[in-house]
Chains A and B, each alone.
Chain A
Amino acid sequence: MSAVTLRKVFKRFGPVEVVHGIDLSINAREFVVLVGPSGCGKSTTLRMVAGLEEVSDGTIEIGGRVVNEVAPKDRDVAMVFQNYALYPHLNVAENIAFGLRLRRIKKDIITASVNDVAATLGLSELLHRRPADLSGGQRQRVAMGRAIVRQPQVFLFDEPLSNLDAKLRTQMRAEIKRLHRRLDATSIYVTHDQVEAMTLADRIVVMSDGNIEQIGTPMELFLNPINTFVAGFLGSPPMNQLEATVSYADGGPIAKVGSDIAIPLPELRQLRNAEGHPIIVGIRPEDTAVERNGAANAAGIKCDLDLVEPLGSEALVHVSVADHPVVLKTETRGAISHLSDVQEFFVQPDHIKVFDQKTGLALDHPEVA
């Protein structure tokens, strides 16, 4: 299994630059997910690793070898496409064997490999079917089989689950994770779905607009987003972001939202002597509570109830704080009637994130400070 390294990689389509010099180093056996909104350059980046797009500038290394000028077939990478790209005129076995046949591998070895892969993916009964006679999930598995059978150094996935319905997506997601544990191959996975990113990745690379915003483990990114973009992208529902200014009360920093709301802030070095500094206060819906529950240092924040969305064991409570919409997430424990008279919610200052309003950067992030 090989490491993959991108150094100052640019991609231009004619005069339009869509990837602006990204650096990324992926360890051998690592599962890395590129995530970001549609059009941010994830697929383009992946396709440059695959060799399907030329690199405009910079270098890509696979297993220590610069592959900029190496043809896709000689990079020892396999890719699972969003639309699967299964050949309709070939049956499942032939689709899986396609790459091996092109490489003129002996027939009995091909048969053995195909059977092996089919068994791994639960396709043994379907080997003689055509793609048209398979369900979405089965097609997806065949597409994976075609990649696995070649035992490549690196697996590339471009939104492999986006054509499946929600239930199947969850199921296949778990299967991909199991498969990765078993094959232990370097994998680069592209998705716009933050849940997929969180659940699958060893490390997540958040991209926007052709740049990398932040790289880290799912929990690192969730707990310490470097800027408002990452904070808003990961987590569901996303982090609430309130525009505010720094002030002080009782010797501690507070955020003033509107004219009469004050939210106590964590004691950060960056918040000393910052009176009037414009900031963004970030509050995760999960970090809020509608009751004080004995958390003595939790601050109560006045709000107007907008609507309650019960999800079963949890409920989303939509409120507004000085006319800014805020979403709270709370456990229902079987009842939601008490939520209809929420006038205040509670949050611990330590759980609050503070971002600079101008730069969008987290004030206390080690990479920023």
Chain B
Amino acid sequence: MGSFNLYSRGDRIFGVANAFLVTLIVISTLYPFIYIIAVSFSAGSAVTSGQVTIHPVDLTIAAYKRVLSEKLFWTSYRNTFIYTIFGTIATLLIIIPGAYALSRPQLLGRRFWNFFIAFTLWFHAGMIPFFLNMRDLGLLDSYFGIIIGFAGNAFSIIILRNFFESVPRSYEEAARMDGANDFQVLWKVYIPLSKAAIATVTLFAIVSRWNGFFWAMVLLRSEEKIPLQVYLRKTIVALVADEEFASSLLEEVYSFETVSAAIMVVSIIPVLLVYPFIQKYFNKGILLGGVKE
């Protein structure tokens, strides 16, 4: 008796269950990474015989040597950078002004346009019409086609529009009285105030560009234009048929599991490097202090 407890029994059980679930989620997201890294540094035979679980077995960098010596690997790596950087820029150039316009109450036919954008979230024409459309626009097998063809994104526009709508109107009104035109209101008020939301959609764009695979495979013909993901697939397919590779398998230095893993590791690194810089903008407090409601 008498011991004072701030939390009820139910609260404590809830806390423990939460911790357990979070741990489970962390493990299930982290483990594939660890596994891929372990595989990439292991000997092929060890992987094939299922010995690798969490750390490398028979440590070797043979897989990396093989990957990094391929000219096409570097070409595709460069291409992925091109698609990611210019694709993300194109996306931002389209969705920021788009979301801003859609957030303006004075936009003519605002409801219609908003409906129009949201509509594409649930319904689209499908793959074949899209392909034919790209073909007829002369956008097959071109950098530009990949960059511009996938720049618009209804989901990101809607996220950003909602954020813009939540910015107190008095910011804009103060700027207008100070002499700002529409463009300056967007550039000097809405964009700085929406860093967190813009960082979110930027990260979406970067990740989806970096991992872009399917349409690149469908739309690109020339080897020198393919991105990393397509190269990865090509390699896996090619390795199976490669005789030299088959003979190297006998020496059990690497297998196509270890080579694929090495490509994946190498391809993840840039995203891991960029993330912390973007993450710092995920700061809810950014709006605090400017207005008082």
**A residues within 8 Å of B by Cβ?**
50-52, 71-73, 77-79, 81-89, 98-99, 102-103, 130-134, 136, 139, 146, 150, 163
Q: Please tell me if the beta carbons of A84 and B292 are within 8 angstroms of each other in the complex.
A: yes
The B interface is mostly helix, strand or loop, or mixed, namely: helix
Given the known inter-chain contacts A72-B176, A99-B178, A99-B179, please indicate yes or no for A87 contacting B290, CB distance below 8 A.
yes
Which chain B positions have C-beta within 8 A of A82? 170
For A139, what are the chain B residues with a Cβ–Cβ distance below 8 Å?
Answer: 289, 292
Residues of B within 8 A of A79 (CB): 173-174, 177
3 closest residue pairs by CB, A with B: A132-B289, A99-B178, A88-B290
B180 interface neighbour in A73, A77, A89, A136, Cβ under 8 Å? A73
A137 to B176, CA, bound (A): 24
* Contact sample, A vs B, 7 pairs, CB 8 Å cutoff: A51-B177, A73-B178, A78-B177, A85-B170, A85-B171, A98-B178, A103-B179
Asked, given contacts A83-B292, A134-B289, whether A89 binds B192 with beta carbons under 8 Å apart, the answer is yes
A185 to B29 CA separation, bound complex (whole angstroms): 64
Chain B residues lying within 8 Å of A71, measured Cβ to Cβ, are 176
- Nearest B-chain residue to A88, judged by Cβ: B290
When C-beta atoms are compared, the residue in chain B nearest to A100 turns out to be B178
A49 to chain B, nearest CB (A): 11
Interface residues of B (CB under 8 A from A): 168, 170-171, 173-180, 184, 188-189, 192-193, 195, 285-293
- Whether A87 lies near B192 (C-beta < 8 A) is yes
Q: A87-B193, A102-B179 in contact; A81/B170 too (CB < 8 A)? A: yes
Please measure, in the bound complex, the distance between the C-alpha atom of A139 and the C-alpha atom of B289, giving whole angstroms.
9
Q: Please measure, in the bound complex, the distance between the C-alpha atom of A73 and the C-alpha atom of B173, giving whole angstroms.
A: 10
Return B16 CB to nearest CB of chain A, in Å. 36
B177 close to A77 (CB less than 8 A): yes
Please name all residues of chain B whose beta carbon is closer than 8 Å to the beta carbon of A85 when the two chains form the complex.
Answer: 168, 170-171, 173-174, 290-291
- Inter-chain CA distance A163–B179, complex, in Å, is 26
Closest to B286 in A: A88
Distance of B183 from chain A, by nearest CB (Å): 11
A133 touches B289 (CB 8 A): yes
Complex Cα spacing A51 to B178, Å:
12
Q: Specify which of A86, A88, A150 is in contact with B178 (CB 8 Å cutoff).
A: A150
- Inter-chain contact B291/A84, CB cutoff 8 Å: yes
Which chain B residues border A134 with CB–CB below 8 Å? 289
A73 touches B179 (CB 8 A): yes
B172 CB to closest chain A CB (Å) equals 9
Q: Is the CB of A102 within 8 A of B291?
A: no
Name the distance in Å between B189's Cβ and chain A's nearest Cβ.
7
Complex CA–CA separation, A89 to B292 (angstroms) = 15
Expressed in whole angstroms, the minimum distance between the Cβ of A39 and any Cβ of chain B is 18
A77 neighbours in B (Cβ, 8 Å): 177
CA distance A51 to B289 in the complex (A): 26
> What is the minimal beta-carbon distance from B32 to any residue of chain A, in angstroms?
38
Cβ-defined partner of B293 (8 Å) among A83, A99, A103, A133: A83
Bound Cα distance from A141 to B293, whole angstroms: 17
Contacts of B285 in A (CB 8 A): 132
The answer to whether B192 touches A86 (Cβ under 8 A) is no
A98 and B175 in contact (CB under 8 A), knowing A85-B168, A85-B170? yes
**Which single residue of chain A is at the shortest CB-CB distance from B180?**
A102
In the bound complex, what is the Cα–Cα distance between A86 and B287 (angstroms)?
A: 10
Q: How far is the CB of A131 from chain B (nearest CB, A)?
A: 4
Q: How far is the CB of B281 from chain A (nearest CB, A)?
A: 11
With both chains docked as a complex, state the minimum distance between the C-beta of B193 and any C-beta of chain A, in angstroms: 7
A251, B215: Cα distance in complex, Å: 103
- Measured between C-beta atoms, what is the minimum distance from B44 to chain A in Å? 53
C-alpha spacing A79/B170, complex, angstroms: 10
For the complex, give the distance between the alpha carbons of A319 and B173 in Å: 49
**Residues from chain A with Cβ under 8 Å of B290 in the complex:** 84-88, 131-132
Q: Are B176 and A73 in contact (CB under 8 A)?
A: yes
A71 to B184, CA, bound (A): 15
Tell me the bound Cα distance from A133 to B180 in angstroms: 26
Asked whether, in the complex, the Cβ of B193 is within 8 Å of the Cβ of A50, the reply is no
B181 to A: closest C-beta gap in Å: 8
How far, in Å, is B218 (CB) from chain A's closest CB?
Answer: 42
**Besides A83-B170, A133-B289, A146-B178, 19 other A-B contacts (C-beta < 8 A):** A50-B177, A52-B177, A71-B176, A79-B174, A79-B177, A81-B173, A81-B291, A83-B168, A83-B291, A85-B173, A85-B174, A85-B291, A86-B290, A88-B286, A89-B195, A102-B179, A102-B180, A102-B184, A131-B290
Please name all residues of chain A whose beta carbon is closer than 8 Å to the beta carbon of B293 when the two chains form the complex: 83
* Complex CA distance for A51 and B179, rounded to whole angstroms: 12
Min Cβ gap B119→A in Å is: 27
* Chain A residues with CB below 8 A from B170, complex form: 81-83, 85
Distance in angstroms from A59 CB to nearest chain B CB is 20
In the complex, A86→B170 CA distance in Å?
A: 9
CA distance A88 to B293 in the complex (A): 14
Please name all residues of chain B whose beta carbon is closer than 8 Å to the beta carbon of A86 when the two chains form the complex.
289-291
Instruction: Select the residue from B168, B174, B180 with max chain A CB neighbours within 10 A.
Output: B174
With a cutoff of 8 Å between Cβ atoms, the chain A residues found around residue B173 in the complex are: 50, 52, 72, 79, 81, 85
Q: Which residues of B contact A52 (CB under 8 A)?
A: 173, 176-177
A102/B178 contact (C-beta < 8 A), A84-B290, A84-B292, A86-B289 known: yes
Q: Is the CB of B292 within 8 A of A136?
A: yes
